[in-house]
Structure 1
């Protein structure tokens, strides 16, 4: 493993506001920089009462301005919601303001429900134009002085573009285009092994990347004891269960026994979806993360996790950072 990074959705805890969530994001990003994380990514979600990162490029700029060296980016921008030129201008501007620090991960899903997707896009296109949109967007970042339409800022910035996915589609597209690939195994691990194999086997070198670069994501919740970590993680399990049953909300307070709050069949599905994870004390998390890295051999591991108490969340990623630093090649 070459690097370790962090994904933050800017969760809004129960009893707190969107402003609190965004302030927590800045504090966590600053801490992540101190802890040695390589990237700090945020994701586009809309109409979600518990997530404050909807205007993703705006939050990325805010975080980049509050940090100094850590790479900041989108994991990801849901490209079907946007015109490629608009995203090129946004991330070209970010790259101009914060040179060599901005990443752009692209997803194909809407990142919301269909009613909200229609509100975002105004006119829903029946065809899948994602591959063409990705190619168009990458073109805007190139040296396109003679092009009729240019992203200004954007042209010549060569913003690194990633393909994100939770199925085999993204793996095939990333391999075909010769781009780095990140798999969303933190909430959809079922196809992780197959997607990694397809991506590596089918990869075609490009102007952007000479050999495949594969990132996997994993949940993490670390604390001083196994018991405390399990309790802290209950907030995320509750939030995911409520999302799956159609009642999304803010990030709940932790509970002592999650089984008392979530029906068994729902909890089983949640545990399966969030199964690519590590929860516990430092030693427990170290063993579980080492098992994941040994099994899938990612070039980079991105960890994520929602904890109601922002101080406990910072501490969780501090413990994870200590563990991951020892796992990095040459660390």
Structure 2
């Protein structure tokens, strides 16, 4: 996985007549606007992407790069990858079956059904839903889209990083990225390589990359907490592990309380209605988990908005 594969994905999007993948805005703010002592904070507003998250890029690239059989496509997902696959399948006019764990939010399950997907709710966590998905795929022969661990999926996610650099006019000094299975950070690391400092952010209750680094290899971890429906992969993906070893220096953990405060701040101060997974970047800055230099340009990936709006109130 490297920059050339990201460029190939971008070319597929550019030449596809449907215009499915959006070029989402990059919002440049002075650090002081977010209470951060740095030169600028760039918010990549990927929550405005088709299907409400960055996942649309990878899933659509996977479908464009491979023949889709009559049985269609199949995916296991905490929600966002399934929503993106369902939207991509609808755009291409092919059937879609999505396996989600019971932790997946009702709002995400409802969205899947709105998009015409056949939804199977099974297993307590993503890993269990994935095993059920694999068994079903062997029966039907449908094209499997993986939530985060396929080259086309990672390359599609990498086009987001390519856009950040194009829209910013330069590579930012650092990019703060939420990590579940690792498809997003893998694509971003593949594009920026070592030209930007790529920082991995995980909830304390879903530390897949952090624990892998402690162990020296990917390991299974227990996952729970506020962002488990998006960042609930049990193990870091093989592609993400490889790229993180080469291009990601820092893996930081954040408590649920800090993530929740950042999510509410994005709504109350900037009217950005995003899910908890999209708030880890701001949480890292506000909590002091990541302290930028005074002249630093920090990019945050606001990665998804598939949430129940009613959750954006203090209990």
TM-score by length of 1: 0.30
Select the structure of larger CA radius of gyration: 1
